[in-house]
Amino acid sequence: MIREAAEGDVEVLIELINELARFERSADSVMIDRDLLHAALFDGSPNVFTHVAEEDGNILGMAIWFLNFSTWTGRNGIYLEDLYVRPEARGRGVGLALISELASIAHRSGYGRVEWSVLDWNEEALRFYRSLGAVAMDEWTGYRLAGPALADLAGRGPSRRMI
């Protein structure tokens, strides 16, 4: 069963996020905790959403996503931040069910696309996404500004010429 995450799922979602980080060889990068995730998903007007795959009361996987916007199409889209299925549940259609739910949300909401990133060494995921008809955006290179570089740039403030 695919359903929206509930407040009682936060602990399991934190477990899944940490499992995903270990799989992606980035366990030391995880800073999220129960309070941060709860606030992102359930406080005020959330702008992050999560669906879970559940079987017999056990959460087998998750899709964490948010809305983005295309200036070219003039429509929102879904950005899939994390799709993770526990190893013991893989090959059973759980990932397909989760991403199909996002496609359904996008389609009925009039959104233009569902997008995500995948590590170039994750051959299993690459094969799965290709099997869905997804197209790699090879001509685009993702960039990230974080940590000290983010703080440094933020400290520069606006250019005097712009004021």
Q: How far apart are CA 17 and CA 11, in angstroms?
A: 10
Average pLDDT score, the chain:
94
- Domains of the chain, residue spans: 2-162
Q: What pLDDT, in 10s, does the model give residues 126-143?
A: 999 999 999 999 999 889
Q: What pLDDT, in 10s, does the model give residues 60-98?
A: 999 999 999 999 999 999 999 999 999 999 999 999 999
As given in the structure block, the two tokens for residue 126 are: 């690459």
Residue matched to tokens 């030391």? 28
Name the residues annotated as catalytic. 129
Q: Are 115 and 78 in contact (CB under 8 A)?
A: yes
Q: How far apart are CA 163 and CA 161, in angstroms?
A: 6
State yes or no: pLDDT of 110 exceeds 80.
yes
Q: How far apart are CA 118 and CA 154, in angstroms?
A: 28
Three-class DSSP category at 20: helix
Work out whether the CA dihedral 153, 69, 63, 122 comes out positive or negative.
Answer: negative
As given in the structure block, the two tokens for residue 74 are: 């003039």
Q: How far apart are CA 10 and CA 54, in angstroms?
A: 14
Q: For the beta carbon of residue 123, count every other beta carbon within 10 angstroms.
A: 10
The domain defined by 2-162 carries CATH number 3.30.300.30: no
Q: Are 3 and 61 in contact (CB under 8 A)?
A: no
